[in-house]
Structure 1
Amino acid sequence: MKIIKTSIVILSCQMLAGCSWLYGEDGLVKDSSYEYVNARQTKDIQIPGELTQKRKVNFTPVPAIGEKAKQAPYGKEVKVSAPIQILAVLDNIRIDKKADNPAVFILDDSDFLWRSIIEIFEENEAKIEKANKQELVIETDWLAVDERGVWLGVAGEDDIDEFRAKYRVKFTDGVLKDEKRMEVSRIAAEKLDDETEQWQPVPSFWQDSADMLNLLISSYDKKAATRDQARKAAMVAGFKVQMAKDEEDAAALVTEASMEHVWEKLPKVLEALEFDVNDRDRRLMTYFVNYQKEEAGFFASLFSEEKELLPIDAGDYQVTLRQLGERTAIVFRDGQGEPLNSQVLTKLYPTLSQLFGDNR
């Protein structure tokens, strides 16, 4: 038994000796736990000039350490705000990433865009100091903002008791056709000194202008949605048509509805007439369609009602819109562009009058 214990002790000593041979400072596998103390400092990261962005502010400062930490704010006193991003999430809006001030490209009617921004300020009772449509510049009077620079949506000297700012909205031509570029900048900002009761200037940052741009984009989106809903309602609304002649003395249907309204409604009418729309040319205000008469088979005639066929031959046709004074003329033509005669159009009139007058 004593021999066995002696053997175990000797074996344990050999194992410990083996570990020191494998690990340790002189071992085969060296300990790297403290190698960092000998590491050399690397060079500072150099950011290319084109990647820098002007007028940024540090919204997440690193807390002070050492003696400076005793005087630095801590806990709830540390004001941390989330980074500001431009909310260009709409289909017709994209960000101008190369702009010094927050800016977006908006694909929309320029008059509607101008009116929308003016109305946003007016609806919030914000005074406008300058609104020059020729220069496409809007500048506000003093607006009440909070400590972070966010517009409070109120105006007037009586409502501004601590912070205030002025903003400029500038429109220029965009890159794409019918596109406008809208840039927002905070051009002045002040804070009221409690002791002197005098306004003192304070700096403006990129985020301050981005906040206002986001507010304008959001409000514009609501106005555009309301407009688009009205357009859809007008598109399905029916209107009255009458037999007449166009400027070239061709048989036509005329209506008091706008050409845009007729253009939007026409595909529904053609579909109800079982025309296939092959193409359309908005410059010519023309739909290119095809009509095929369906010949009902034996079983179809048994189980379905017989459809009334149009008094025209199968083939290609064109439907053209023309301005006729303040009215819109609708001319049906054959495949070669010749207007259908008045006898054919007279036969089609009852059906067309009903379809154009329906809400569809």
Structure 2
Amino acid sequence: MNNKNVLALAVVGVFLSACSSVDDRAAASGDFEYLEHETVAPIKVPEDLTVPPTNSRYAIPDLATETSSVLVGNDISVASPRLVIPLVSGSHVEEGSKEAKVLFDQINDKEPLEKTIWDTVLAYLELNNIGVESFDKDTNELVTDWVIDRQEDDASWYEFSSEYIEKARKFKLNLDLAPHGRTAALTSKMIKYLDEDGNDSLVNVNPIDKRTDEVNFINFIIAEYDFGIRLERSQRIAKIRDGFSSQMGFNADGDAAVMIDAVYADAWPRLQLVLRKMGFDVVDLDQSSGLLFVKYNGPDDSWFSGWFSDDELPLDEDDYRLIVEKAGDKTSITFKDIENEPFSAQKVSEIYPAFSEYMAASDLDI
């Protein structure tokens, strides 16, 4: 095959591929001969004979008319249906549900699930310059302003300029909160549609395209929700690594304690890093009750230990326990011996300098 034939085939290939638009490739193709078939008339039974029993189970439905929305022929989409993607930890979908709906489970106890979801929705709308037409917190219903979709119009393959068409839609978001408040279902529904000519034509949108738009909209919100969680987790990890300041004080029972300038959820993982750095091994722990069983092994016995500072604590190499408790926006740490007797204020003051130094150290390396 010479070069001229290869070039000719390449041009034909480009021409044929350019002649089919995205919509054409997503639509069913064929002769659709079934559209021309007429319904067979029922069997005529003579008057003197008994009419046999019939069953409509396998009856063929009437084809689409100008006023119906039955999809037949070229109107049938063969593209894969758009699916709700539950990216967020604790999110899921109902199997078999035809709605654009996602369910969220409570994973952040700092605020109600309802507030977390609506804050995410509003953040997404603001980020994409989408207005809010109405928002009723009592009924948990939000209606967006016009969501403008600017799409490139299908042009001939030989045209190098592009034209765009704009379509506008409004969506209604409903939040259904479970009675226990720890699970909520967010549903997206298109309620208005303006075509490229500015005509209200929601009734003319086929069900597949309508569901695709509804699913796309709720998937964007899910992605924003996931981003917010990952950002908060990253910021929390950075905060824990930066360390916290502390002071000597007293717990709720009046025992000498160390007060950490951090909430319980942040102080708990940081404390385990600090204890290991100070020469303690955590033998057992229970975050729900705030109890840690530890064993003091003394400072690191490596050959270079002690060159820079004295890491020795005024403690016997023995078993101890710590009580970690919430104290408003602070966290109290109470040291006790194995007999569950709290340390005296004098003993706490002796171990406090090393404890406070490690607790406040930035990027603590274990």
Aligned residue for 2:31, secondary structure, equals: coil
Q: Does 1:100 align with 2:98?
A: yes
Structure 1 or 2, whichever has the larger Rg, is 1
Tell me if 1:138 matches 2:138. Answer: no
Does residue 255 of the first structure (1) align with residue 253 of the second (2)?
no
Instruction: Tell whether the 8 Å contact from 2:279 to 2:299 is kept in structure 1 after alignment.
Output: no
Aligned to 1:221: 226
Q: 1:199 matched to which residue of 2?
A: 200
Show the 5 A alignment for 1:231-270: 231-270=236-275
1:91 Cα deviation from its structure 2 partner = 4.0
TM-score for both structures, normalised by structure 1: 0.66
* % identical aligned pairs: 20
Residues 321-340 of structure 1 show CA distances to partners (whole Å, capped at 9, x for unaligned) of 33435433221222343321
Give the corresponding residue for 2:189.
Answer: 185
Residue number in structure 2 paired with 1:31? none
Corresponding letter in the other structure for 2:139: E
- Distance change (3 Å), C-alpha of 1:280 and 1:175: farther
The 8 Å contact of residues 186 and 209 in structure 1, kept in 2 or not, is answered as yes
- Tell me, yes or no, if the aligned pair for 1:243 and 1:254 is still in contact at 8 Å: yes
Matches within 5 A, 1:1-360: 60-65=27-32, 81-107=79-105, 108-109=107-108, 110=113, 111-145=115-149, 162-173=166-177, 178-191=182-195, 194=197, 198-201=199-202, 202-203=204-205, 204=207, 205-293=210-298, 303=303, 305=305, 308-359=311-362, 360=364
Measured in 1, the distance between the counterparts of 2:116 and 2:87 equals: 19
Give the match for residue 18 of structure 1. Answer: none
Counterpart CA distance in 1 for 2:232 and 2:246 is: 26
Relative to structure 1, the CA distance from residue 98 to residue 281 in structure 2 (aligned partners, 3 Å threshold; closer, same or farther) is farther
Amino acid of the structure 1 residue aligned with 2:100: P
Whether contact under 8 Å (1:59, 1:83) holds in the other structure is no
Rounded to whole Å, the distance in 2 between the matches of 1:248 and 1:276 is 26
Partner Cα distance (1:137, 1:213) in 2: 14
1:53 aligned residue: none
1:252 CA displacement: 0.8
Q: In the alignment, is the contact (CA less than 8 A) between 2:192 and 2:200 conserved in 1?
A: no
Give 1:170 shift: 2.5
Pair 1:199–1:171, CA change in 2 (3 A): closer
Letter in 2 for 1:286: L
The Cα of 1:231 is off from its aligned counterpart by 0.9
What amino acid is aligned across from residue 171 of structure 1 in structure 2? L
Q: Report the counterpart of residue 46 of structure 2 in structure 1.
A: none
Q: 1:147 to 1:101 in 2, by over 3 A?
A: farther
1:199 aligned counterpart, secondary structure: coil
TM-score, normalised to structure 2, is 0.65
5+ long unaligned stretches in structure 1: 1-57, 149-159
Residues 352 and 295 of structure 1: CA distance in aligned 2, closer, same or farther (over 3 Å): closer
SS at match of 2:342: coil
CA distance 1:294–1:168, change in 2 (3 Å)? same
Alpha-carbon RMSD: 3.7
**Contact 2:246–2:258 (Cα < 8 Å) also in 1:** yes
Instruction: State whether residues 88 and 222 of structure 2, in contact with CA within 8 Å, keep that contact through their aligned partners in structure 1.
Output: no
- The 1:317–1:188 alpha-carbon spacing in structure 2 relative to 1, beyond 3 Å, is farther
Does the CA contact (< 8 Å) of 1:88 and 1:95 recur in 2? yes
**In structure 1, C-alpha distance between the alignment counterparts of 2:92 and 2:258, rounded to whole Å:** 42
Separation (CA, whole Å) in 2 of partners of 1:136 and 1:336: 54
Amino acid corresponding to residue 137 of structure 1 in structure 2: E
Indicate how the Cα distance of structure 1 residues 239 and 89 shifts in structure 2: closer, same or farther if over 3 A, else same: closer
Mean CA deviation greater in 204-213 or 82-91: 82-91
User: Which secondary structure does the structure 1 equivalent of 2:130 belong to?
Assistant: coil
The 2-side partners of 1:283 and 1:134 are apart by 34
C-alpha displacement of 1:138: 2.4
Aligned partners of 1:323 and 1:305: how far apart in 2?
A: 35
Q: Any idea what SS the aligned residue of 2:193 has?
A: strand
How far, CA to CA, are the matches of 1:82 and 1:325 in structure 2? 52
CA–CA separation in structure 2 for the residues paired with 1:175 and 1:290? 45
Cα separation, partners in 2 of 1:65 and 1:245, compared to 1, 3 Å: closer
Q: Return the alpha-carbon distance in structure 1 between the equivalents of residues 120 and 178 of structure 2.
A: 18
Give yes or no for contact 2:259–2:332 (8 Å, CA) kept in 1: yes
